[in-house]
Structure formats: C-alpha cells, structure tokens
Amino acid sequence: MKNILPIAASCLLAGGAIGYIAGNSGSNSEKNESADAKSKPAASGSSRTSSGSGASGGGNSKERKPKTYEEVAATPGQTARLQALVDLYSGLGSDEFAGEAEKLDNLPFNERILSAYILFAAWAEVSPYEAFDHANSKMGRTGMFVKPTILQSWAATDPKAASRYYESNKSEFAMMGMMGGGRGGSSGAGTISAEWAKQDPEGALAWAKTLEGRDQEQATMKALSQIATTDPERAAGLTMGLEGDSLSSANSSIASEWAKKDWNATEAFVKGLPVDQQGDALGAAVRSLASENPTLAATKALEIPEGNARDEAVESVAEAMARENPADAAKWVVANGTEKAQKDAMRDVMGSWVNQDAAAAKTWAVEQPEGAVRDAAVSSYVMSDSKGNPQENIKLAETITDEGSRGWAIGMTTMRWMGEDSEAATEYIQSSDVIDDRMKDRILRRGEGGGRPPGR
C-alpha cells in the first residue's frame, strides 16, 4: 500500500483528475478486450504486503480504522484525512471495491477526485483485472481516466503481469500519452517501465527492447531515466543498441538527470553524443540545471542551437530567475529569447513579479513597445493580479492587440469583477465596444455558471 499515495498524487498532477470531475457518464460503448478477465485470478505479485498503511503493526495500530467514507470525512486535519482514506480502502476485500466505486458519484467532485485515484490504486493491488473490468464496463468514457492509475499501481507490484495485460489490451490505453500534457505525458508502456525499473532496471530495459515504435521509445526512456536518478554514468552505458528517437529520448533523459548531480560530467556526456542529438540533450540538461543554478543555466542556454530545445530552456531559465529577481528575468528573456520563448516565459515571469511587486510588474509591462511581448506581459499581469482593481485591469487589458489574448484577459478579469460587483461588471460587458457580441455572450453565460472560460 505504500505506493498508493505517490501514485494518486502523480495522477492528479498529470491532469487525469479533470476527466473524473465530469462524473460517471453511463455505460461504456467500448468492447472490453479482456472478456475473460473476470475469471482470471489476481496476479501473485499484486497482493498487499504488511508494511503499508493497513499493516497491523504500524504506528497507528491502536487507532480504530475508518469503516465508512463518512468517518473519513469527519477526521480532523487534511493529512490525517488522507491517511484515513488510505486505511479505509486498504482494508477492503476484493468483493467490496465495486460497491465503494459506485459510491463515488455521491461525493462532492473535489473529494471524488482523490478518492477515486486512491480507491483504484488500492483495487489494482488486490484485483487488477476486476478494477479494469469495472472501469471498462461501468464508467463509460470516464473510465479511461482511472485506467492509468490501475496500470501504474499494478506495475508497482507486478510489472510483468501488468505488461502482459497492456500488450493484450493496448487500445484501452491509447489516450494515455495525451492526458499528461506536454513532455510529462507517458504512454502505458512508459508507465510500466518506470515502475519496473525501480525494482529491476535490466528487466525493464529487456522488456522495452521487445516493443516497437513509441512504446519502445517511452519504455526505454523511462527505464534509463530511472537508472540515471542514481547512476547516470551507468545509464549512459546501457544505451548501446538503441537508435533513432529511442536513443535521442534516452540521451536527453540521462542528461536531464545527470545535470542535477554533476554539470561538468553532463557537458562531457553531451559533447560525446552524435551532433544531431546534442541540442536536445543540452536543452534537457539546462532545464534541470535552471532550478539549481539559474545563472549558469542562463549562460548554457545560449549555447543550444536555435529551435524548440533552446526556446524551452530559455523559458525554464526565466522561470527560475524570476523567483529571485523577476526584473532581471524579464530583461534577460527580451534580450535572448525568440518571440515564442518570450511570450511563453512571460507567464511565469509576470506571475512571480506580481506576487513580489505588482506595481513594478505593471510599470514594466505597460512600458514595453507594442507587439507580442507587451501583449503577453500585460495579459499575464492582468491574469496574475487577483488583488488589483478589476476596472483598472480591464482598461489595461483593452490595450492588448491580440484579439484572443485580449478576450481571455478581459473575460477572466470580468469574472472576478462579477464576484465583487456583478451589476457594474454586467453593465461594462453590455456597453463595451472592445469585445464583440459573441464574446459578451460567452462571458455573461460563464458568469451565470455555464459555458467554457471566455476567450478560449
């Protein structure tokens, strides 16, 4: 049971929880590809050990474990409540999970999110086939948001069994790589490999080599990344036989981990790579270095060839610099970033700056010459300044030249204004000649609780 809490947290951060907020959408139209799953016994490695939170010999053994969710909800303290939730679900028998899963729909959705991930992580440790069967047959489309949790929890206890299920039911996990967003998104193969490598790095790599395409790339990269967290030099020596995207991804992952330990060794490693892979690897290394040494990272970012790797490194450096000195970060980005990097970096720079000195952040943003950078800076300022005067911020947002950014900034600021003075905010929207009728309608509907956020 020890692995449930980090699994739940990682899934929430990855954004899968967003889908579960939508609630149970009814029966699933997909065909369950593991029709015989119900008849299969749980994998031998999926039973719980006695060392988890449900262990009888733990430090809380004298305390009575909760028997209902109501008891969990009544527990004082957030961390104590979280532990109580783990205790509740860790004490369930294999025939009790389905009933608890059905109760989730009755919870407030913010409580439903965390409960769902802890419940399904616990279920996967006891009976992963039944957990998958429930997600496939009882949860409709929202089942796909808990299946990554089931897969990860299963892989954390029995990666070989999890890998066999994955290879026989790949279509169930087709959306996994899209739900994490950006570089953090991981395929089902990557999820299994990352857990496998924590227990048996060589076994994880051997399995990765049996895969093809993106699965092979993700599984190899995740395994080597895990090895690199403790021994990057060893990980570098295990890339032999890889080629193409698999080799490039692995090298970037190793460089990222190595940079946290020894920058000089990292640079030597990057310089020894094929020329066409050095830019991506150096970019990954600089992004890691930025959080520890933004000054050095700022210098090294400019050594990366122009392209996405450099833009992403510039953004990471600017974000790290802004925590200490946002004015210097903004100046550095404007002097060294491409327009794309400048626009993207402004979100983090202005966010930090507003928290530290909102007046200075506003002055800098307003003084920028008209264009993409000013638009990004003003938009980010307005969105970050939650304590400022909404009327003044709306006037500032009206100077944004990009229509989409302007609508988003005005819409979100007006939403905040509605919470303070709905009559004045509504009057502004209806009389404004800066936003069109369609946008006005979207903002007003959003203010009444309907529709998507305005401007997107």
Domain boundary among 325, 353, 385: 385
Domain boundary among 369, 385, 401: 385
pLDDT for position 407: 84
State whether 34 and 152 are in the same domain. Answer: yes
Give the domain range for residue 288: 190-234+241-292
State whether 100 and 84 are in the same domain. Answer: yes
pLDDT for position 251: 95
Domain assignment of residue 148, yes or no: yes
326-336 helix and 308-324 helix, angle to the nearest 10 degrees? 160
| CB 249 within 8 Å of CB 177 | no
Domain assignment of residue 304, yes or no: no
Domain assignment of residue 302, yes or no: no
User: In the 8-state DSSP scheme, what is residue 180?
Assistant: S
Domain assignment of residue 301, yes or no: no
Q: Determine phi and psi for 62, rounding to 5 degrees.
A: -80, -15
Q: Could you give the C-alpha distances from 341 to 296, 347, 349, in angstroms and in order?
A: 19, 10, 12
State whether 139 and 120 are in the same domain. Answer: yes
State whether 144 and 19 are in the same domain. Answer: yes
C-alpha 253/C-alpha 269 separation (Å) is: 12
427, two tokens: 């009057």
State whether 227 and 247 are in the same domain. Answer: yes
- Alpha helix stretches (DSSP H) within 127-211: 128-138, 147-157, 159-168, 176-179, 188-199, 201-208
C-alpha 143/C-alpha 24 separation (Å) is: 8
State whether 380 and 394 are in the same domain. Answer: no
Domain assignment of residue 282, yes or no: yes
C-alpha 233/C-alpha 342 separation (Å) is: 35
How many domains does the chain fold into?
Answer: 4
Instruction: Spell out, as residue ranges, where the chain has pLDDT lower than 70.
Output: 1-63, 177-185, 446-456
Q: How far apart are the first and last CA of the chain?
A: 41
C-alpha 56/C-alpha 52 separation (Å) is: 9
State whether 397 and 325 are in the same domain. Answer: no
State whether 394 and 379 are in the same domain. Answer: no
- Alpha helix stretches (DSSP H) within 272-338: 275-292, 294-301, 308-324, 326-336
State whether 355 and 262 are in the same domain. Answer: no
In the three-class reduction of DSSP (H, G, I as helix; E, B as strand; rest coil), residue 285 is classed as: helix
Domain boundary among 385, 415, 433: 385
357, two tokens: 């000195």
- DSSP secondary structure string, 74-113? TSSSHHHHHHHHHHHHHT--TTTHHHHHHHGGGS-HHHHH
State whether 122 and 18 are in the same domain. Answer: yes
Closest of 144, 174, 207, 162 to residue 18, by C-alpha: 144
State whether 213 and 157 are in the same domain. Answer: no
Domain assignment of residue 212, yes or no: yes
C-alpha 379/C-alpha 383 separation (Å) is: 6
State whether 213 and 155 are in the same domain. Answer: no
C-alpha 342/C-alpha 315 separation (Å) is: 8
pLDDT for position 13: 39
Q: Could you give the C-alpha distances from 343 to 15, 228, 306, in angstroms and in order?
A: 24, 33, 16
Domain assignment of residue 19, yes or no: yes
Radius of gyration of the chain (CA): 25
Q: Could you give the C-alpha distances from 30 to 34, 45, 133, 140, 145, in angstroms and in order?
A: 12, 29, 12, 8, 15
Q: Could you give the C-alpha distances from 250 to 43, 186, 208, 240, 357, in angstroms and in order?
A: 31, 14, 12, 11, 41
Domain assignment of residue 72, yes or no: yes
